[in-house]
Structure 1
Amino acid sequence: MGSLEGRAVLQLEDENLMDSKQNDKKASSMDATPQISVFDSDTDDVSCRCMWNSLLRQMHIVLFSQKLNLLIPCGLVAMVIDMLSDHNGWIFFLSLLGIIPLAERLGWATEQLAFYTGPTVGGLLNATFGNATELIISIYALRMGMVRVVQQSLLGSILSNTLLVLGCAFFGGGIVHPSKDQLFDKGTAVMNSGLLLMSVMGLLFPAVLHVTHTELEFGKSELALSRFSSCVMLVAYGAYLYYQLTTQNNNLYMPIAEEAGENDESLEEEEAPEISKWGSIIWLSILTIWIAVLSRHLVNAIEGASDALGIPVAFISVILLPIVGNAAEHAGAVMFAIKDKLDISLGVAIGSSTQIAMFGIPFCVVIGWIMGRPMDLNFQMFETATLFMSVLVVAFMVQDGTSNYFKGLMLLLCYLIVAASFFVHIDPDDIHVLVAIYNAMEYLERVLGPDLTTKKKRRCFNAHEDAI
């Protein structure tokens, strides 16, 4: 019995030992559980820190990597002035300065996204956002009913690209390389010139109908013809994009005069994207919204700035707005010409003009159709004749596939003549108002008598002008 009891006691002790070991294992496993959670929390902290550092790095690249970005606060100052006062001259000037770096960053974000989308989609993105600043300004002005501002700003984009940008590129490249004529792809230049002439045709016929009063239905045929021609031009531009991105393998603007060794070096030094794909999309959206907000202040201040600065609205719309909207793009075209990569310069200058002429203008006509605004292709005879002569000059300049500083100088002098012409140009719609004002002055002198003092005449004239 004693032995049995001893065995039973020993078995109980063994069982207790086993239970204690199992409990120790459970306890150890339970103790290990919070250690895993601590490890997970550390991992989350590290990932959050990495995301925050990536965000700060992208903000630094987008906002602080270029000296031109020092002008970004000018847009914020313009908004503050617009809220606190009505100094339209300062609002307009500061809005212009604020849009310059945003337009450059918008093009840069588009290029970053093109790294991830491939050449075909990247080409479409560049075609769409290449002139996004002008299109945003035009669409907002169209909403405000400022059809003439839309027409003149789009016309000014074409003139500045074909005469000013191309002229600066030819002149700069010729000065740096005076001992030779620079070469570029003649076929590409001629194709773009043909598209520009097609756009001139689309603008010319509605203007001629308006001037000669030969419309089938007065006030309707001109608008109907403009909308039909716009649809045809959009189809032609779509076919051009398809040809550019597929048939020519997206190589229309690649340099053709480089040696094989230089091509190998360019391949080795091929650029890499600076920000992620989703970062490009997010910044593209932010910059587009930012430009749209600034465009509202810019467009609202145009007429007030014209009165405050004594500059015609036509000169502001045709000369100042396009130069500022494409300032960074213009500088890039000149730099490529200096580096003897003239095909890229032509892609920026003439290619951008083709986008505005064959896509931007008809697109605004269609948008105006949707909005119920009478946006048409009748840019008036003066503007249409200016565009026609400018396109002809450029077509003759690029037909032989060579450039030098003298060709650039001629293009710049042509642009100077165009700028001077618009500085003294009065819009036809304003002529009727001026005629009514002068008739009112003659009426006041006839009724009130010649003995009326000049000060009283001016007071009566101002009152009549406000009534008109």
Structure 2
Amino acid sequence: MGNVEKMDPDINGEGFDDSPPCVPKMQGFEHIGSLHTFAQPYSLRRTLRRISMSIYTVILKAKINMLLPFGPSAVILHYLTEKHGWIFFFSLVGITPLAERLGYATEQLAYYTGPTIGGLLNATFGNATEMIISIYALKNGMIRVVQQSLLGSILSNMLLVLGCAFLSGGIVHSNRDLVFNKAAAVVNSGLLLMAVMGLMFPAVLHFTHSEVHFGKSELSLSRFSSCVMLVAYASYLFFQLKGRHKLYSPVDEGEKENDDDSDEEDIPEITLWESVAWLAVLTAWVSILSGYLVDAIQGASEAMNMPVAFISVVLLPIVGNAAEHASAIMFAMKDKLDITLGVAIGSSTQISMFLIPFCVVIGWIMGKEMDLNFQLFETASLFITVLVVAFMLQEGTANYFKGLMLILCYLIVAASFFVHIDPAASKL
């Protein structure tokens, strides 16, 4: 019987009611009411501590969030002054950390959803900033701003982001060429060429005056091509995530083992519901600032004596590509060029094959004549950029010289848009 009495408490030395081992079990049940009243404030403290930790991880921990006060300052300036140049600048700087944190929250959510849904989330939220700005501009009838900002995001990702990544990775590993999987690069290059084809035919149809119904055939072709491009992008997601996922494995087996070790160390920093909540909060705040940013574009162009085309193609994409820029450089310096290409070229593929056709369809629903005729200058810029990047990637190697060449190409493109007069400014 003595042995039976010793087995009464829990094996860990505590009763099943969390009472200390010296307290009999019946006594714990008699005071169950007092334990319940103690559990309520304890649960509240635990919830508050979890919220404070989440705020610290997402907001206070990242140094880029020092730029967050620029967002509220832009809202205040909007109502107190009419200085559109300052409103645009403060909105632009204020959105930058939000875009980076939006990418962070998406990565955290992908830990819980798995690779398939995670890839879809990256497709949706990876370019959420560009999508929100484009929808606001489209709602205000600023079709050229939508076209040029999306085009600028593609050019920035392919030339500036990829160039900085190659340059940084090449300097860190200057004794050898960095190697990446050519298969993924070839597939993305093919999709980008398909996007160029989708943008080229409406422009050629318009400028050769060979439309069956002037103005209408161009718009109908754009909407049909957009639907085809969306189907192609959905097929690409299935191909990448389900059909041929082994195609995108790292080139080196030793590198693969290192990646596996790093994956084991990578654990989510916030919970599933915290990730969803932060995505909602950040998306809402980006939406608010995007409205002030779009409203100030025309006034900022006049105040700064700067073409709207340059603002749309060069300045706006810098904000949307903040997360991609930092991630691509970081992975390139760690000799993980497969991930770098997935970030930079993959983002360009998302914009050209998903976001641009999506905006055409949204404009169709809104009754706006958003089309794929990006004008000859913009279309030619995209076509030459895709060719240059495709030639840079065909060998499957990267170094600091290739990165420098891509950055210099981007400077030429940026300077070209600074002196470019938009012939379709009447569409604004």
TM-score clears 0.5 = yes
1:389 maps to what in 2? 384
Match of 1:429 among 418, 421, 424: 424
1:334 maps to what in 2? 329
Bigger-Rg structure (1/2)? 1
Q: Deviations over 1:288-332 (max 9, x none)?
A: 011000000000000000000111000000000001221232021
2:54 maps to what in 1? 58
* AA at the equivalent of 1:158: I
Match of 1:418 among 393, 413, 416: 413
Count of residues in Structure 1 that have an aligned counterpart in Structure 2: 402
Match of 2:96 among 100, 105, 130: 100
Q: Distance in 2 between matches of 1:316 and 1:123?
A: 30
1:74 maps to what in 2? 70
Secondary structure of the residue aligned to 2:103 is helix
Give yes or no for the alignment of 1:321 onto 2:316: yes
1:85 maps to what in 2? 81
Q: Deviations over 1:184-237 (max 9, x none)?
A: 010100110000000000000000111111100011000000000000000000
Check whether the contact 2:163–2:405 (CA below 8 A) recurs between aligned residues.
yes
* AA at the equivalent of 1:176: V
2:133 maps to what in 1? 137
Secondary structure of the residue aligned to 1:376 is coil
Q: Distance in 1 between matches of 2:54 and 2:124?
A: 24
Give yes or no for the alignment of 1:360 onto 2:390: no
Q: Distance in 1 between matches of 2:226 and 2:288?
A: 28
* AA at the equivalent of 1:286: V
Match of 1:221 among 217, 220, 223: 217
Give yes or no for the alignment of 1:150 onto 2:146: yes
Q: Distance in 2 between matches of 1:104 and 1:298?
A: 17
Q: Deviations over 1:159-203 (max 9, x none)?
A: 000111111111111111122111001010011000000000000
Q: Deviations over 1:348-368 (max 9, x none)?
A: 110000000000000000000
Check whether the contact 1:255–1:344 (CA below 8 A) recurs between aligned residues.
no
Match of 1:202 among 198, 205, 209: 198
What is the deviation of 1:260? 6.3
Q: Distance in 2 between matches of 1:297 and 1:89?
A: 11
Check whether the contact 2:184–2:248 (CA below 8 A) recurs between aligned residues.
yes
CA 187–305 in structure 1, closer or farther in 2 if over 3 Å, else same: same
Q: Distance in 2 between matches of 1:256 and 1:158?
A: 29
Check whether the contact 2:67–2:93 (CA below 8 A) recurs between aligned residues.
yes
What is the deviation of 1:62? 1.1
Q: Distance in 1 between matches of 2:383 and 2:156?
A: 14
Q: Distance in 1 between matches of 2:288 and 2:44?
A: 32
Taking only aligned residues, the RMSD between alpha carbons, in angstroms, comes to 1.9
Give the percent of matched residue pairs that are identical in Structure 1 and Structure 2: 65
**Where does the alignment leave 5 or more consecutive residues of structure 1 unmatched?**
1-30, 434-468
* AA at the equivalent of 1:137: I
CA 253–298 in structure 1, closer or farther in 2 if over 3 Å, else same: farther
Give yes or no for the alignment of 1:373 onto 2:368: yes
Q: Distance in 2 between matches of 1:200 and 1:32?
A: 74
Q: Superposition pairs for residues 19-58 of structure 1, below 5 Å?
A: 35-58=31-54
TM-score (norm 1): 0.83
CA 290–308 in structure 1, closer or farther in 2 if over 3 Å, else same: same
* AA at the equivalent of 2:114: G
Stretch moving more, 307-316 or 257-266: 257-266
What is the deviation of 1:155? 0.1
Secondary structure of the residue aligned to 1:428 is coil
Give yes or no for the alignment of 1:115 onto 2:111: yes
Check whether the contact 1:184–1:257 (CA below 8 A) recurs between aligned residues.
no
Match of 1:286 among 267, 277, 281: 281
What is the deviation of 1:279? 0.9
CA 343–376 in structure 1, closer or farther in 2 if over 3 Å, else same: same
What is the deviation of 1:263? 4.2
Check whether the contact 1:171–1:404 (CA below 8 A) recurs between aligned residues.
yes
CA 70–219 in structure 1, closer or farther in 2 if over 3 Å, else same: same
Give yes or no for the alignment of 1:240 onto 2:236: yes
1:346 maps to what in 2? 341
CA 412–253 in structure 1, closer or farther in 2 if over 3 Å, else same: farther
**Where does the alignment leave 5 or more consecutive residues of structure 2 unmatched?**
1-26
TM-score (norm 2): 0.90
Check whether the contact 1:193–1:395 (CA below 8 A) recurs between aligned residues.
yes
Check whether the contact 1:183–1:257 (CA below 8 A) recurs between aligned residues.
no
CA 426–42 in structure 1, closer or farther in 2 if over 3 Å, else same: same
Q: Deviations over 1:336-357 (max 9, x none)?
A: 1111111111111100000000
What is the deviation of 1:47? 0.7
What is the deviation of 1:248? 2.6
* AA at the equivalent of 1:418: V
1:300 maps to what in 2? 295
What is the deviation of 1:34? 8.9
What is the deviation of 1:33? 9.5
1:187 maps to what in 2? 183
